[in-house]
Structure 1
Amino acid sequence: MKITGNTIFITGGTSGIGRALAEAFHDNGNRVIIAGRRQNMLDVITADRPGLIGMELDVDDPTALAAAASKVRADFPDLNVLIANAGVSRPENLTAGGWGLSEAETIVETNILGVLRTTAAFLPMLKGQPNATIMATSSALAFVPRADFPTYCASKAFLHSWLTSVRHQLRDVPVEVLELSPPYVQTELTGSQQMSDPRAMPLDDYVGEVMRLLEAGDHPRGEVLLERDFARRWAERDGYYDAIFAAMNPA
């Protein structure tokens, strides 16, 4: 993936990793369209960065996605990069008496169907464009889950498998397919406490490392993964799965 000279559409771009990536790509000379549910945040971000374009969008709404794709096709016909970043995370306690499917359904709707719908809407525009790329945000938790976030981790494992197949299918189109697998990063994905958790990687440090890996083309198998997460990625292959799972999920 080139890191300059692209026209990029990124979902979930109003906060966290999505916003930081959008700003980093914008700083590197890309035209960036950020999409998110909160118009007020889009207004704040674009006011601070002339040339950054905001578009209100809920990826859970197929009609809104179709309208967004039509607008992008008309206004930005040179679109060549899609970053499907929108996602939600919720803890779930199946031992609780009131546990139900609502949280799991919300996660599946956004993290799985949202990525599939976004890809379906924008892939026709990417085919035939120079340096075309799809990048979707998975998680290092796709490889070894945190048991208190069962559906979230499973949604990211789904994306890992799905992206592997999409990458193979699009190998001759060509559209590069990348999987962004963040570690625990200082964002508000699981709540405000995550933003200041010293165990989490600072957001700017993470995005800086991602940009370095992208520029160097250092993403074997299309996986944009930090070295610190290699142990989790290969835990089962290398015989460490049980030990890492136990460390992440103390009894």
Structure 2
Amino acid sequence: MDITNKTILITGGGSGIGYEIARLLSEQGNKIIIVGRTADKLKQAAASLKNTFAIPCDINSEQDVNKLAELITSSYPDLSVLINNAGKAFVYTHSETAGAVEKARQEMETNYFSLIRLTEKLLPVLKNRDEAAIVNVTSIVAFSPVAIIPTYSDSKAAVHSYTLALRHTLAQDTNIKVYELMPPTVNTEFSKEIGGEQRGMPASEVAQGLIEGIQQDQYEIGIGLTIGFRNQFFINEQDAFQVINQR
């Protein structure tokens, strides 16, 4: 798929992977819309990029998402790429005092339910384009969980499943291609608690890998360690689980 001269919306675009994706795509003649909860942070990010616009929006708020969808429909009807990148994670291990239910509820709301809501709201706009795409950002943990981010892993596995079904369905009668970006640990503020600064790959490399994957119509875009780990998982699930949890 050609990923130039398009209007692209990126959730969580004010920092980390989302910001690097916005930066690279803005340099390729695209119009970029970055979405996030913190208005000042978002405006600062947009000001540092070419042809980039900031729209504050809490994707967990149905009211905010409805307003966003209305704005996109009226002001950016040429939207052709949606990148669902925003995420939330808690670092903890399961125990009787972990509070896993509340943590899982927040992670699933941000990482899964809100992604589905926004995608559904923007489908009518995307369907009007001759060439369109949806990118769902999951993780290496979509295949096998990491025990210190257990319910975050669950949420990414759910998005992986959703992405497979969405891709199959939209391929029947639309021009919308559905991609999945699967990074390993990345050096961002988001992953600092799980060692991202020490062993995470640069967010810029993840962004570059996404662009190359889309250009090659690679629907499941594994980055770095995810490629080998995915293969190992399908050979021996238990061995893969042990490997990822030793890291």
Task: Using structure 1 for the length normalisation, give the TM-score.
Answer: 0.91
Deviation of the 1:212 alpha carbon: 2.2
* 1:228 to 1:236, Cα distance in 2 relative to 1, 3 A: closer
* Residues 184, 224 of structure 2: 8 Å contact kept: no
- SS at the partner of 2:10? strand
- SS at the partner of 2:184? coil
Match of 1:107 in 2: 107
Gap runs ≥5 in structure 2: none
Match of 1:10 in 2: 10
Asked whether 1:224 is paired with 2:221, we answer yes
Match of 1:151 in 2: 151
Deviation of the 1:96 alpha carbon: 4.9
Q: How far apart are the structure 2 equivalents of 1:111 and 1:187?
A: 17
Deviation of the 1:178 alpha carbon: 0.7
Out of 211, 226, 241, which is 1:245 matched to? 241
Match of 2:26 in 1: 26
Q: How far apart are the structure 1 equivalents of 2:88 and 2:204?
A: 20
Task: Provide, for residues 168-201 of structure 1, a one-character-per-residue CA deviation record: whole Å limited to 9, x for no partner.
Answer: 111021210111111111111133674522x111
Match of 1:132 in 2: 132
* 1:191 to 1:200, Cα distance in 2 relative to 1, 3 A: closer
Deviation of the 1:21 alpha carbon: 0.5
Match of 1:78 in 2: 78
One-letter amino acid matched to 2:232: A
Q: Report 1:30-109 matches (<5 A).
A: 30-97=30-97, 99-109=99-109
* 1:202 to 1:136, Cα distance in 2 relative to 1, 3 A: same
Q: How far apart are the structure 1 equivalents of 2:146 and 2:62?
A: 30
Q: How far apart are the structure 2 equivalents of 1:4 and 1:50?
A: 14
Q: How far apart are the structure 2 equivalents of 1:31 and 1:170?
A: 24
Deviation of the 1:207 alpha carbon: 1.7
Q: How far apart are the structure 1 equivalents of 2:98 and 2:89?
A: 19
* Residues 92, 103 of structure 1: 8 Å contact kept: no
- SS at the partner of 1:118? helix
Q: How far apart are the structure 1 equivalents of 2:161 and 2:121?
A: 20
Higher percent of residues as helix: 2
Match of 1:162 in 2: 162
* Residues 21, 204 of structure 2: 8 Å contact kept: no
Deviation of the 1:204 alpha carbon: 1.7
- SS at the partner of 1:66? helix
Task: Using structure 2 for the length normalisation, give the TM-score.
Answer: 0.93
* 1:228 to 1:101, Cα distance in 2 relative to 1, 3 A: closer
Match of 1:177 in 2: 178
- SS at the partner of 2:189? coil
* 1:226 to 1:46, Cα distance in 2 relative to 1, 3 A: closer
- SS at the partner of 1:196? helix
* Residues 86, 114 of structure 1: 8 Å contact kept: no
* 1:195 to 1:140, Cα distance in 2 relative to 1, 3 A: closer
> How many residue pairs were aligned?
246
Deviation of the 1:244 alpha carbon: 2.3
Q: How far apart are the structure 2 equivalents of 1:23 and 1:247?
A: 33
Q: How far apart are the structure 1 equivalents of 2:204 and 2:84?
A: 20
* Residues 13, 85 of structure 1: 8 Å contact kept: yes
Deviation of the 1:127 alpha carbon: 0.5
* Residues 187, 194 of structure 1: 8 Å contact kept: no
Task: Provide, for residues 193-221 of structure 1, a one-character-per-residue CA deviation record: whole Å limited to 9, x for no partner.
Answer: 74522x1111222222222222233x1xx
* Residues 90, 103 of structure 1: 8 Å contact kept: yes
- SS at the partner of 1:70? helix
Q: CA RMSD in A?
A: 1.9
* 1:193 to 1:182, Cα distance in 2 relative to 1, 3 A: closer
